[in-house]
Amino acid sequence: MTISSHTAAARVRRARVEDVLPSQLYLLRLEGDGGTVRAHLSAEMRMHNVRLLPGTRVEVEVSPFDPSRGRILDVV
């Protein structure tokens, strides 16, 4: 059994920042279906000290295990 057989593929989606939450969390509204996701910044974005404001469009990787959680990969 390999490690890759245990991991599920995450989905990359586009979203818009709705609200800034404590502890570097962001509430995002997904484009298309309009669902909401709570997401944190990826390590690379944190390293560059990126801060997001409401209304910013981002690319988010939605967790396959909990579709209400994600990781912000890039600013669009």
Q: Which two tokens stand for residue 40?
A: 């944190």
Contact call for residues 76 and 57 (beta carbons, < 8 A): yes
Q: What is the mean pLDDT of residues 44-58?
A: 94
Tell me the domains of the chain and their CATH numbers.
Answer: 14-75 (2.40.50.140)
The Cα–Cα gap between 30 and 16 comes to 7
- pTM for the whole structure: 0.85
Q: What is the pLDDT of residue 4?
A: 47
> What residues have CB less than 8 Å from 6, skipping those under 6 apart?
none
Q: What is the mean pLDDT of residues 43-63?
A: 95
Q: Which two tokens stand for residue 21?
A: 């939450």
C-alpha 28 chain-centroid distance? 8
**pLDDT for 13-26, tens place per residue?**
999 999 999 999 99
